[in-house]
Structure 1
Amino acid sequence: MMKLLPEADTPEVRLRSVASGGEPLGAELIEWGHATLGGAINEFYGQTECNMVVSSCAVLEPPLPGRMGRPVPGHVVDVIDAATGIRQADETEGALAVLSPDPVMFIGYWQNPEATRDKFVEGPDGKWLLTGDQGVRDAEGRLRFVGRADDVIGSAGYRIGPAEVEDCLLAHQAVRLAGVVAKPDPLRGAVVAAYVVLKDGYVGSDALADDIASFVKSRLAAHEYPRVVRFINGMPLTTTGKIIRSLYGRWPRMRQQQSMLQRMDESAEALICPKGVGDYPSREKRLPRIEPWNAWMVWTGELRQVQLSSDVASRASQPT
Structure 2
Amino acid sequence: MKGLRGVIGRVRGWRRGWHERTKLQRIDLYTRGTLAVLPWVFLASWGLLPLLPVLGEGPVPAGLAVAFFAVNTALCVLSNRHLGAAFAHHRGAETFPVRRLRLPAALLALLTGLVVALAATADLKDAGLALLVLDVPLAFAIPYVLLVPVRTYLVHSAVYAAVLVALLAAVGVPAGLLFGAVLSMLVAILLVLSSVRPSAWSMSAMWQAEEARDMQARLAVAEERLRFGRDMHDVLGRNLSVIALKSELAVELAQRGNPAAVDQMVEVQRIARASQQEVRDVVRGYREADLPTELMGARGVLQAAGISVTVEGADGP
TM-score of the superposed pair, with normalisation by structure 1 = 0.22
Structure in which a larger fraction of residues adopt helix: 2
- By relative contact order (CA 8 Å, sep 6+), the higher-ranking structure is 2
Q: Which protein shows a greater Rg?
A: 2
